[in-house]
């Protein structure tokens, strides 16, 4: 008579949130719990992505958005409530996901993905998920992610349809796929000095919670493959389209990489400067860099114009300042000039680098617009060096 095999059951497994998916082949609850994921965009698609990550018990979640919840968002966004109207989307999303799973740790960053998220934050993520509605913001995610060798998952919605792509350095690239028409739109937006104007969507793109749930689900599924290092089943290098009208799905090979592409710049090696923070003044940072590189002939190169002078269009009144162009309206001296002149302002003088000639050396990097944990691009000794503001690491705090 055949001896019966005893099966030992782990009765406690079902009492743990991260034990829910243990029977799925390749599942790693420990990796999920330790993972850090950035979600850029907290609209309808961002809501679905965050909901899925929360249900999966993701350990650490960074949510980036500068916009506020409006009443029209409620019909499409599963985690927004009527009482959230007027609240920053990133804050409302981080707060409300706790009602599903209080174990998820979050950090909300209220700002523009172009300049308000330090590259060191990107560097500490396992994967980035884009839930955006404009090409310029996608381009910034692509460039930032690739600079620190990170993969990101892009999603887009339109009416009853949607699409997503997985962009992995060395395999696929958003910028490489841009058409001439797309570049025209991007160049127009880059000329806007204001965050809202730079990111606004012309017209209204109608979407449904059905399309966002489908695309958001696929995005998170692909993000899990990145977290699990499951590149054999990843859709990196491929595209996916969903047509909700005809219930049609299309998976296709994406275009190859172009040899010359700005997004392919890799910041390597990166020096972690534990003594530097974005709360340091320009003078303090230059002192440290000159000592470190043993030269007093160096520059900090920036990708965003730093406005040094704003001028009233009609009266010609001016004010000195030192702030990133897309934050120009936030500078106290600019607001004061605007109140006095009550007319349109334009940029009188700007720069794309910081050195000893910088007119406001006692301004902090933060006041200029450089975010915490950013990576400075430093020109010194006829080379380009990459220096992280690692003294800001304690600001990457999840709650």
Q: In what order do the strands lie in the sheet with 105-109?
A: 105-109, 60-64, 36-40, 127-131, 152-158, 161-167, 238-243, 248-253
**Backbone phi and psi for residue 70, each to the nearest 5 degrees, phi listed first:** -115, 160
Task: Provide the 8-state DSSP code for 172.
Answer: -
Give residues with Cβ within 8 angstroms of 128, minimum separation 6: 37, 38, 40, 122, 141, 145, 150, 151, 152, 153
**Residue keyed to tokens 């300042």:** 321
What is the spatial distance between Cα 269 and Cα 271, in angstroms, rounded to a whole number? 7
Q: Let me know if 268 is exposed, middle or buried by CB neighbors in 10 A (0-12, 13-18, 19+).
A: exposed
What 3-state class would DSSP assign to 210? helix
Tokens of 359: 């007119």
Asked, as a colleague might, if the bond just before 269 is cis with ω within 30 of 0, I would say yes
Domain ranges, ordered by start, for the chain = 26-260, 270-395
Task: Provide the 8-state DSSP code for 8.
Answer: -
Q: So what's the pLDDT on residue 357?
A: 98
CA angle 282, 278, 374 (to 5 degrees): 115
Per-residue pLDDT tens digits of the chain, which is 399 residues long: 555 554 444 445 556 777 788 888 889 999 999 999 999 999 999 999 999 999 999 999 999 999 999 999 999 999 999 999 999 999 999 999 999 999 999 999 999 999 999 999 999 999 999 999 899 999 999 999 999 999 999 999 998 999 999 999 999 999 998 877 777 777 776 655 555 555 555 445 678 899 999 999 999 999 999 999 999 999 999 999 999 999 999 999 988 899 899 999 999 999 999 999 999 999 999 999 999 999 999 999 999 999 999 998 888 889 999 999 999 988 888 888 878 777 788 898 999 999 999 999 999 999 999 999 999 999 999 999 999 999 999 999 999
Report the CATH architecture of 26-260. 3-Layer(aba) Sandwich (3.40)
What is the spatial distance between Cα 260 and Cα 237, in angstroms, rounded to a whole number? 18
What 3-state class would DSSP assign to 318? strand
Tokens of 196: 């809202």
Q: So what's the pLDDT on residue 63?
A: 99
Measured N-to-C along each axis, helices 135-147 and 180-190 cross at an angle, to the nearest 10 degrees, of: 90
What is the spatial distance between Cα 104 and Cα 92, in angstroms, rounded to a whole number? 15
Number of neighbouring beta carbons within 10 Å of residue 111: 18
Q: So what's the pLDDT on residue 94?
A: 98
What is the spatial distance between Cα 284 and Cα 288, in angstroms, rounded to a whole number? 6
Tokens of 185: 């739109």
Q: Is residue 42 within 8 Å of residue 50, measured between CB atoms?
A: yes
Q: So what's the pLDDT on residue 99?
A: 96
What is the spatial distance between Cα 286 and Cα 299, in angstroms, rounded to a whole number? 8
What 3-state class would DSSP assign to 55? helix
Q: What pairs with residue 324 in β-bridges?
A: 306
Nearest to 152, CA basis, from 243, 21, 49, 256 = 49
What is the spatial distance between Cα 172 and Cα 185, in angstroms, rounded to a whole number? 22
Task: Render 270-305 in DSSP notation, one character per residue.
Answer: EEE-TT--TTSBHHHHHHHHHHHHT-S-EEEEEEEE
Give residues with Cβ within 8 angstroms of 337, minimum separation 6: 310, 312, 317, 318, 319, 345
């Amino acid at each position: 008579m055949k001896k019966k095999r005893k099966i030992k059951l782990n009765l406690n497994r079902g009492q743990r949130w991260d034990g829910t998916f243990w029977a799925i082949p390749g599942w790693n609850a420990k990796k999920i719990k330790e993972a850090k994921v950035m979600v850029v965009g907290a609209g309808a698609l961002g809501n679905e992505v965050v909901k899925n990550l929360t249900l999966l018990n993701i350990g650490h979640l960074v949510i980036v958005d500068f916009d506020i919840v409006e009443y029209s968002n409620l019909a499409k966004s599963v985690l927004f409530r009527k009482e959230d109207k007027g609240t920053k989307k990133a804050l409302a999303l981080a707060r409300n996901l706790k009602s599903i799973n209080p174990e998820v740790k979050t950090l909300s960053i209220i700002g523009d993905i172009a300049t308000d998220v330090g590259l060191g934050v990107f560097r500490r993520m396992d994967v980035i998920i884009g839930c955006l509605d404009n090409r310029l913001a996608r381009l910034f995610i692509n460039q930032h992610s690739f600079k620190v060798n990170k993969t990101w998952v892009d999603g887009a919605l339109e009416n009853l349809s949607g699409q997503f792509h997985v962009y992995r350095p060395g395999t696929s690239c958003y910028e490489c796929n841009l058409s001439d028409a797309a570049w025209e739109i991007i160049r127009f937006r880059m000329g806007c000095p204001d965050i809202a104007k730079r990111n606004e969507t012309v017209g209204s793109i109608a979407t449904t919670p059905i399309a966002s749930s489908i695309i958001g689900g696929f995005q998170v599924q692909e993000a899990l493959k990145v977290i699990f290092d499951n590149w054999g089943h990843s859709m990196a290098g491929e595209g996916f389209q969903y047509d909700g009208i005809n219930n049609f799905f299309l998976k296709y090979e994406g275009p190859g990489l172009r040899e010359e592409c700005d997004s392919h710049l890799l910041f390597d090696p990166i020096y972690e400067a534990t003594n530097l923070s974005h709360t340091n003044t320009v003078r303090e940072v230059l002192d440290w860099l000159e000592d470190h590189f043993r030269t007093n002939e160096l520059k900090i190169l920036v990708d965003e114009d730093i406005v040094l002078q704003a001028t009233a269009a009609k009266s010609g009144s001016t004010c000195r300042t030192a702030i990133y162009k897309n934050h120009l309206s936030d500078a106290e001296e600019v607001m004061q000039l605007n109140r006095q002149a009550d007319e349109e302002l334009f940029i009188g003088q700007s720069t794309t680098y910081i050195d000893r000639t910088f007119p406001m050396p006692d301004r902090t990097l933060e006041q200029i617009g450089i975010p915490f944990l950013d990576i400075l691009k430093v020109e010194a000794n006829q080379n380009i060096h990459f220096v992280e503001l690692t003294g800001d690491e304690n600001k990457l705090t999840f709650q």
